[in-house]
Amino acid sequence: MSNLAGVVRLLKKEQDRLTKELHRIGAALAAFGKTYREGTGARKLSASARARIAAAQRARWAKVREKAKVVPIRGKRTLSAAARRKIAAAQRARWAKVKAAKKRA
């Protein structure tokens, strides 16, 4: 029974320590809480400031596009029906060869 009483005493001691720790955390939050609660908030720009920023960005992109070389993109090529038939026949031959090798093995 004395062992059980010792365990209870240790648990109460730990509970007191945790309670004190929680009070310290609460005090810290009370001290700093106001600062963190307010936050930084969103900064507001006037319409003229946004317009100036947008114009500057458009000028930067114009400069980038001016320097870039324009490379024409070729359209997709299409195969003739005869070419497709040749490719399909070659693929069928490859698969036949694979299947034949499996039968031999």
The per-residue pLDDT for range 43-101, each reduced to its tens digit, is 789 999 999 999 999 999 998 888 877 777 888 889 999 999 999 999 999 999 999 99
Q: How far apart are CA 80 and CA 86, in angstroms?
A: 10
Domain that holds residue 31: 1-39
Residue 28 lies in a domain: yes
Residue 95 lies in a domain: no
Task: List all residues 6 or more positions away from 69 whose beta carbon is below 8 Å from its beta carbon.
Answer: none
The per-residue pLDDT for range 58-72, each reduced to its tens digit, is 999 998 888 877 777
Residue 72 lies in a domain: no
- Enter the pTM of the model: 0.31
Residue 92 lies in a domain: no
Residue 27 lies in a domain: yes
Statement: residue 35 has pLDDT above 80: no
Band of pLDDT at residue 40, cut at 50, 70 and 90: low
